[in-house]
Structure 1
Amino acid sequence: MTEAMDAEFDTVAEWTAEVAIDLGPDYYVPAGCRGSGSPAALDWLIDRMDLSPGQSLLDSGAGVGGPADHAAQRRSVLPLLVEPEAGACRAAQRLFDHPVVQASGSRLPFPDESVDAAWCLGVLCTTPDKGALLSELRRVVRPAGAIGLLVFVATDVLPADTPDGNQFPTAGLLTDLAGTTGLDIETWQGATGLDPPSREWQDREQTVTERLEECYGDERAWQVAEDQSRRMGTLVSEGHVSGELLVLRRP
């Protein structure tokens, strides 16, 4: 992990939980989804993965756990959170009542074919061993199970000022990776065409960000994480990378 990744997913993750708890339960999921996908993107995956009540949903690289809890509220799935950073694990445990395991997505500590479905949001573009991550997801998902991805894909030559720790695949590489790991691409959608969050969601997320800035704006970890976010936003707004949503299926 780079300093920027540690700042975002360890230190700032714990600060985020503290701020959300202070603000109240209505802020937990918006706070826990900061940087992990919009409600529309999560709903697209939930619908296309055909998640149903009682199914186990593995969230690999779960961060603070907001997306998994959103899925639990939408479809009564049973989330299992896996996250390599200790701070994010502690934050998820404080905010949400779901099992949390500290582990790497490329070495999942679960038996073969032990979960009904899995997703991995914004993680594949931060790991050098993308094949191992996809292979592990395929290994632990039961036959015919769905695997949802949010991946930031490089669309042209990247500028020098890219976020630390990111290694964006091309669309072609992503297609090849799915094929070589034995996964079928069932559906693929660009995230930019989806509806924006509701005003209520945006207001709550903005309140969390403002409170974090107020409390921790002078701390280096916050400044590093915000610089990382700024760089990522610039890449997306200038069209160098695009957010892509995929549902893969294990035959």
Structure 2
Amino acid sequence: MDQGAAQAVSEAESEEFGTTATWAADSIERLGPVHALPAACQGSGSPEALHWLCQELALQPGRRLLDVGAGIGGPAAYAREETGVEVDLVDPMPQACAAAERIFGLPALVGDAGKLPLDDRGHDAAWSLGVLCTLSDQPAALAELARVVRSGGGIGLLVFVRLAQRQRVHMPDNDFPAWRELRDMLDDARLDLVHEHRLKDFGAPDAGWTARADRVHDDVRRHHLRDPRWQRAERQRKAVETFVDEGLVEGVVLTCRVR
């Protein structure tokens, strides 16, 4: 990892997104490849939401999609499988990059979302799913997405936003923008909002998909229940779920066009 990426990743984030990525890959290998996509897409939207993004971004063979904050590669693997698009992955965690290669055969670059190690205008589309609210410099991340996607290309986002009428929601390692703040950041990054949907308006995953994801979660818990790193990651996951259930934050899936 380069120095800039290392500085952008807190110790807490490293525990949650680094170590647990390796644990998830271990579990997928124990349980079998049928569990890979459901487990690796957790936190990145439902299959219906991913399908919608693939259509909205016009993904197809011969085009190139960038996944920023790709984790262990589930959404990128989904897009490649559904559309035949070529995919590139960037994530700040070396463990997550190694897991994406190990599970899906997807090479990934270690890099910071605020300073992507990529050339200008090298991709037809990009997405960043469930990542923006974990970043300390959200405008820089959006500007980088706009930089590396060709003019007129599409960008997909899953963002957890705090509801405008609520007070600021505090949570370590997360900063949930209000809708107005998000719109202003998109405009400053020269991104035109095209479509938006609430995450909950998409259909829930089918029972088989959910069961396979739950099996991986339960397997990781069984092996690492007493590890403080697993306990902290679980608290973070449950906190977001609680904020959503209490109406403090809401998942929004949106597409933008690069000016």
- Common fold, TM-score beyond 0.5? yes
Pick aligned residue for 1:224 from 232, 235, 244: 232
Equivalent position of 2:50 in the other structure: 42
Q: Does 1:137 align with 2:155?
A: no
- Tell me the residue number matched to 1:157: 167
Contact 2:133/2:159 (<8 A) preserved:
yes
The match for 1:82 is 90
Calculate the TM-score normalised by the size of structure 2.
0.93
Distance 1:153 1:181 in 2: 18
The structural deviation recorded for 1:159 is 5.0
Match of 2:100 in 1: 92
Please say if residues 91 and 112 of structure 2, whose CA atoms lie closer than 8 Å, have aligned partners that are also in contact.
yes
Native 8 Å contact 2:18 2:94 kept in 1: yes
Shift of 1:158: 4.0
Q: Percent identity?
A: 41
The answer to whether residue 259 in structure 2 is matched with residue 240 in structure 1 is no
Q: Which sections of structure 1, spanning at least 5 residues, go unmatched?
A: none
Query: What secondary structure is seen at the aligned counterpart in 2 of 1:118?
Result: strand
1:8 to partner: Cα distance: 1.7
* 2:69 aligned with 1:61: yes
What residue identity is the alignment partner of 2:100? A
Unaligned runs of 5+ in 2: 1-8
1:250 corresponds in structure 2 to 258
1:199-233 CA-to-partner distances (Å, cap 9, x unmatched) read 11001001101111111111111111001111111
Contact 1:4–1:228 (Cα < 8 Å) also in 2: no
Tell me which stretches of 4 or more aligned residues in structure 1 moved more than 4 Å: none
- Please tell me whether the aligned partners of residues 71 and 96 of structure 2 are also in contact (alpha carbons under 8 angstroms): yes
Query: TM-score under structure 1 normalisation?
Result: 0.96
How many residues of Structure 1 are paired with residues of Structure 2 in the alignment? 249
Report the residue type matching 1:154 in the other structure: R
**What is residue 177 of structure 2 aligned with on the other side?**
169
The 8 Å contact of residues 68 and 126 in structure 2, kept in 1 or not, is answered as: yes
Give RMSD over aligned pairs.
1.2
Deviation at 1:99, TM superposition (A): 2.2
Deviating more after overlay: 34-43 vs 212-221 = 34-43
SS in 2 for 1:142: strand
Displacement of 1:54 in angstroms is: 2.2
> 105, 109, 114: which one pairs with 1:101?
109
Cα shift at 1:186: 0.7
The aligned counterpart of 2:130 is 122
Equivalent of 2:31 in 10, 15, 23: 23
Aligned ranges for residues 158-197 of structure 1 at < 5 Å? 158=168, 160=170, 162=171, 164-197=172-205
Secondary structure at the aligned position of 2:150 is classed as coil
